[in-house]
Structure 1
Amino acid sequence: MRAHEAGALHGDIGSRGPSWLRTPVDVNALVPALWPRNVTRDGDGVLTVAGLNVRDVADEFGTPVYVLDEDDLRSRARDFRTAFDGVDVYYAGKAFLCRAVVRMIAEEGLHLDVCTGGELATALSAGMPPERIGFHGNNKSVTELTRALDAGVGRIILDSFDEIGRLTALARERGVRPRVLIRVTVGVEAHTHEFIATAHEDQKFGFSLAGGAAAEAAFRVLDEGVLELRGLHSHIGSQIFDASGFEVSARRVLGLQAQIRDARGVELPELDLGGGFGIAYTTQDDPAAPQDLAKRLRRIVEAECAAERLAVPHLSIEPGRAIVGPAVFTLYEVGTVKSVPVGTGSDAADGRRAYVSVDGGMSDNIRTALYDASYSATLASRASAAEPMLARVVGKHCESGDIVVKDEFLPADVQPGDLVAVPGTGAYCRSMASNYNHVPRPPVVAVRDGQARLIVRRETEEDLLALDVG
């Protein structure tokens, strides 16, 4: 399917010829890969989720609002657990975390990865078994490490020599032996935006493999004998569709595992391959199914272990975006529509673009501005027989970069009061939301079997003022 069909345009219009701009577009159609599994349209063309009309959602909870298809999230969690049978699947809480999601993840049999004291507090308060929690982070404080030890978290991923010393001292003082993994920076740069490609050497995470720091870290932990070194960890980036990066990463990490075995006579029993599995934000994205990922990653690890004469370690992975990202869409109300010139000549869509301003923006979705991310959008509150128009969905903030959807076809009759929905907003939208311009953050509503329940309430102006003690 071409990128612009069925309301999923993606790209810079200035770089394309005029023919595709004149291609008929069905602005009422939905591309299933972009939406939660229980989203459809009713007879009036209104978007529904799990049988609930979005106009009813807007009436009850207001806009903007993040709408979570609970059965979709649960089914994606089960898909990973089933496909990766025998592998520990850690949901990466940084994608989006609240107590309701913690409970969903726990009930579906997944583990949970946290990377701050706040995420750990959320997990524990929701009843996540601490032995199923992994604790990441490049600068864990003494307070955070102490809480992790006292709670009995299942594993701590070590990220620096300072942290090795810090955790060793705390563990010795408490007479405990926490399980740890060494995060290895393997020098593999995933095919992704440079700010979310985390495995190349010049960045803040992990111990360098090429520079010898990773081996030194492992030797130091083994020689001290206070921490229980269970294995190695690698994470090569985010929004990844090509498994070749995992192959190179596994080869290098398992090479280090063989080096540790040869130097210390210890064969580490675990290996974490990280996450970063991509999702479809537009029709140009083609993510792999969990079953395909599992088969490929198992083959990679088995082949590399055979080459190094290692026993296949117990594996773990850390999907976050791939579970929660597609399960959520954001619902906005249109406030203003204006038509502006976008250029001259045949490369412009009649020389104009509509700026469709909604009641949210970069405070509830910073990814477009931060990562140049692409999204799709659709008119959600009704069907339309109008001709498609090239539109840019923008927010209400005092920034020219306050863009939610860069380029999309919407019906030419879109008007103030209409509802517009943007899919794929479950990951890194609410979790990275801000109060820029003193805008309260939106609520999160979970829908199941035609019923909506509030799982994160909307912030209010009173909430903002309560923090202002001046």
Structure 2
Amino acid sequence: MNKDNYSKRLMSNMEINTHNHLVIDGVDTIDLVDKYGTPLNVYDISLIKEKINTFKEAFKNYENKTQVAYASKAFSSLALYEILAKEDVSLDVVSGGELFLAIQAGFPKERIHFHGNNKSYDELNTAIQENIGCIVIDNFYEIDMVEELTNKHHQVMDVLIRVAPGVEAHTHEYITTGQADSKFGFDLASGQVEKAIAKIKSADNINSIGLHAHIGSQIFEVDGYQVVIEKLLAKAKEWKKTFGFNLDVLNVGGGFGIRYTEADTPLPLDDYAEAIMNAVRKQAKLNELALPEIWIEPGRSIVGEAGTSLYTVGSQKNIPAIRKYVSVDGGMADNIRPALYQAEYTGVLANRVNENSEEKVSIAGKACESGDMLIWDITLPQPTQKDVLAIFSTGAYGYSMASNYNRLPRPAVVFVEKGKDFLAIKRETVQDFLKLENSIENW
């Protein structure tokens, strides 16, 4: 690889300064490392806002209302929720913890949607007491609990019915969610959706406003969305006649693909929007239905490319004619995706982005697991101890899935925007472990 070719790996929000350092939205990453240490997760807030605006603009010409709901399981923090509240988007939460943090951030409750395949009684009670915008009903057990709680609080709750439509996206088996064999939603083929509609219709304080379907993640084509829209609107026509069911809202989920490596070629975000709108228009007309509101739930496609992980290089092991391992001070404890479903990444040495000397290496994490590998093969300028490795597109499901495996503290999270930085989440320390621990001396 010739000098300057490493720059081709950079994301759209990155530059190289005169010190040959990686710069994200005007902030030198080496300055961030000096200030906050490593491992460090860096989020470009300008890019997050740009992605949100692209989605909102893409749906501007739709004849009914639309909602862009950020799927906060991708990454959540108090500061991010505060930013999103000002960006006029909705919020998809999947636990009482995410709901609590959103409320603490002052996020408008009417724009919160509550997901999950096993919501607890207490979680649903909080959601109803807080009068959030919508609960996405996932199973019959939830219908019973929501009915009990809405009657108890004398409060009407809007719900979407989550459907497992039998449509599979072309993605890893662990992140497909629309197929029939899924823990999520009511199975369409077996008649579960009809039973759910009938049960909800008989409840006094549950107001069904429409349907929800999510067919998977990291999707690089529009076909799956078109097929599921065709199936659901055809069924909506039947259910309107049978149950008086009105499809006021159609939530097609998220799953829009992003770029992790140079091999990824995701569609422009507005291509997904255009395909979804056209499919809804076509199928609504065909089935003699009024155009429903369209809701989407992008998570990865909003924060994924905005996130960069910074690590310090440590030990190295060279096995002649086989492999050279370069270890960093993070790994599967702060990014489980490569170990969980063979996710691929790329990156650069942030302090020596473009240099001629190079070699192929494998990036190993520091956890005591052979499978703790962040990147199996990557060409870099010959790494040395204390170099800083930047791995790109780690903004989704990195920090949010982080653990304390091997008692490793979770990294700090920094936001950058237009040359400024902000510590959004402090670095966990070993002293923090003691907050939940009890000594046997207290037994």
Give the structure 2 partner of residue 361 of structure 1: 331
Q: Distance in 1 between matches of 2:82 and 2:56?
A: 16
Q: Which moved more, 1:422-431 or 1:215-224?
A: 215-224
The runs of at least 4 consecutive aligned structure 1 residues that moved more than 4 Å come to: 25-28
User: 49, 55, 61: which is aligned to 1:80?
Assistant: 55
Q: Distance in 2 between matches of 1:265 and 1:92?
A: 31
Report the identity percentage.
42
Question: Is 1:436 the counterpart of 2:415 in the alignment?
Answer: no
Matching residue's letter, 2:122: T
For residue 54 of structure 1, report the CA deviation from its aligned partner.
1.3
Matches within 5 A, 1:407-446: 407-411=377-381, 413-446=382-415
> Is this contact kept in 2: 1:188–1:245, CA < 8 A?
yes
- Superposed CA deviations along residues 103-145 of structure 1, whole A, max 9, x for unmatched, are 2212111100000000000111001000000000111111100
- TM-score normalised by length of structure 1: 0.90
Matches within 5 A, 1:234-383: 234-341=213-320, 351-383=321-353
Give the structure 2 partner of residue 60 of structure 1: 35
Q: Over the residues paired in the alignment, what is the CA RMSD in angstroms?
A: 1.3
Give the structure 1 partner of residue 364 of structure 2: 394
> Is this contact kept in 1: 2:20–2:351, CA < 8 A?
yes
Q: Distance in 2 between matches of 1:97 and 1:162?
A: 28
Give the structure 2 partner of residue 8 of structure 1: none
- Superposed CA deviations along residues 73-94 of structure 1, whole A, max 9, x for unmatched, are 1111111111122410000000
Matches within 5 A, 1:438-457: 438-457=407-426
Matches within 5 A, 1:119-198: 119-198=98-177
Matching residue's letter, 1:371: Y
Q: Cα gap change, 1:375/1:383 in structure 2, threshold over 3 Å: closer, same or farther?
A: closer
- Superposed CA deviations along residues 225-278 of structure 1, whole A, max 9, x for unmatched, are 320000000000001111111111111111221121010233221110000111
Matching residue's letter, 2:222: A
> Is this contact kept in 2: 1:28–1:45, CA < 8 A?
no
- TM-score normalised by length of structure 2: 0.96
For residue 337 of structure 1, report the CA deviation from its aligned partner.
2.1
Q: Distance in 2 between matches of 1:273 and 1:173?
A: 31
- Superposed CA deviations along residues 298-329 of structure 1, whole A, max 9, x for unmatched, are 11111111221111101100000000000010
For residue 384 of structure 1, report the CA deviation from its aligned partner.
4.9
User: 69, 78, 93: which is aligned to 2:44?
Assistant: 69
Q: Cα gap change, 1:26/1:405 in structure 2, threshold over 3 Å: closer, same or farther?
A: farther
Q: Distance in 2 between matches of 1:438 and 1:25?
A: 41
Unaligned 5+ segments in structure 1 are 1-23, 342-350
Q: SS at 1:309's partner residue? A: coil
Q: Cα gap change, 1:384/1:78 in structure 2, threshold over 3 Å: closer, same or farther?
A: closer
Matching residue's letter, 1:81: K
> Is this contact kept in 2: 1:375–1:405, CA < 8 A?
yes
> Is this contact kept in 2: 1:185–1:199, CA < 8 A?
yes
Give the structure 2 partner of residue 39 of structure 1: 14
Q: Distance in 2 between matches of 1:192 and 1:405?
A: 20
